[in-house]
Amino acid sequence: MTRSTDTLSAEIGVIGGTGFYEMDGLSDISRIQIDTPFGSPSSLITIGTVHQRRVAFISRHNEGHQILPSEIPSHANIYALKKIGVRQILTVSAVGSLREELSPRHAVVPDQLIDRTHGRSSTFFGNGAVAHVGFADPFDPTLCEALASGAETAGITTHRGGTLIVMEGPAFSTRAESSLNRNSGASIIGMTALPEAKLAREAELCYASLCLITDYDVWHKSESDVSSELIIKNLRSNAENAKHAISQAIASLDKSLVECECRDALSNALITPPTLVPKATRQRLELITERYWGPA
Ligand SMILES: [Zn+2]
């Protein structure tokens, strides 16, 4: 079957986390495999229409939950979304709470990040090309507001703002680590928003994260210790809520993009003169650097 390019493009990307393996309510659906210079995305990409918007969905851990947080092909996921025309990315993550007032099954839309991952590549650059993007405010404020209002409309108790720590995992924190994380001022802890958010910034895409709380982590004395059983129970209900929240967030997003810093993130970030960048590197980066460096 031939399809027009338009059918295989999308304006909004959605990356679903644990428990959120497919989008509800999409029509005119295509499922496509997109190959990138950074490998294959986590899952086939589902492109469809909801609330008159073309949306591309990726299941971060793949539909059968086969990919560890450390193994998520974030470069390929972000690159593939950019390739099909996405400008804004809404993501969903399961997190643990580090604050009494942030209860299991509540939603948090964080405005800050602390990177405690190790060994994950967090850049598209390297191999002869150096770039340093600004990342002081890692999330796009318009998308944060859309996610928070979408979650509220979906009936979820929602907290605007807060700091998300991203740890390496896959084991959960020790009590000492949980205490350290609380003392760092963070609100919630997860394993997947990085390097995703950094790569989205390098690709000049707006990015925000809806975090659904599954548990209180191990610092909380009155709760039974974080266990897979408890987490899975809350995950199921959170995932259903998240689907509803994402749909409402999409409905609330304006077609015309609000001005923001994300979409010009590379304008002062590219350090290496393009003439010194090896051709293979330029070709691999062309989708995101062509605007500044011209065709590879
Ligand atoms: Zn933005």
Q: From the CA of 83, how far away is ligand 1's center (Å)?
A: 17
Q: From the CA of 253, how far away is ligand 1's center (Å)?
A: 13
For the chain, what is the mean pLDDT? 94
Six-digit token pair at 119?
A: 């060994």
- Residue 35 annotated in active site: no
Average pLDDT over residues 108-126: 97
pLDDT tens, 25-67?
999 999 999 999 999 999 999 999 999 999 999 999 998 889 9
Six-digit token pair at 193?
A: 């928003």
- Residue 215 annotated in active site: yes
Q: From the CA of 288, how far away is ligand 1's center (Å)?
A: 15
The domain spans of the chain are 5-293
Residues within 5 Å of ion ligand 1, judged at the Cβ atom: 140, 206, 260, 262
pLDDT confidence of residue 163: 98
Cβ partners under 8 Å of residue 257, min gap 6: 87, 88, 142, 206, 263
Q: From the CA of 54, how far away is ligand 1's center (Å)?
A: 18
Q: From the CA of 248, how far away is ligand 1's center (Å)?
A: 19
pLDDT at 253 over 90: yes
pLDDT at 3 over 60: no
Cβ partners under 8 Å of residue 128, min gap 6: 272, 276, 277, 278, 281
pLDDT at 16 over 60: yes
DSSP annotation string for the chain: ----GGGG--SEEEEE-TT--S-SS-EEEEEE---BTTB--SSPEEEEEETTEEEEEEETTTTTT---GGG--HHHHHHHHHHTT--EEEEEEEEEE-STTS-TT-EEE-SEEEEE--S----S-BTTB-B----SS-S-HHHHHHHHHHHHHTT--EEE--EEEEE--SS---HHHHHHHHHTT--EEESSSTTHHHHHHHTT-EEEEEEEEEE-TTT-TTSPPP-HHHHHHHHHHHHHHHHHHHHHHHHHS-SSPPP-SGGGTTTTTB-S-GGGS-HHHHHHHHHHHHHHH---
Q: From the CA of 73, how far away is ligand 1's center (Å)?
A: 22
pLDDT at 222 over 70: no
Q: From the CA of 77, how far away is ligand 1's center (Å)?
A: 18
pLDDT confidence of residue 58: 97
pTM across the whole model: 0.95
| 5-293 CATH, one of 1.10.645.10, 3.40.50.1580, 3.30.200.20, 3.40.50.620 | 3.40.50.1580
pLDDT tens, 172-194?
999 999 999 999 999 999 999 99
pLDDT confidence of residue 223: 58
Q: Which of 138-152, 200-214, 221-235 shows the lowest mean pLDDT across its residues?
A: 221-235
Average pLDDT over residues 219-236: 75
pLDDT confidence of residue 4: 46
Catalytic residue among 35, 217, 225, 264: 217
Give the N- to C-terminal CA distance of the chain in Å, as an integer: 32
Residue whose C-alpha is closest to residue 30's, from 66, 77, 91, 84:
84
pLDDT confidence tier of residue 19, bands split at 50, 70 and 90: confident
Q: Are 216 and 223 in contact (CB under 8 A)?
A: yes
Catalytic residue among 35, 115, 215, 254: 215
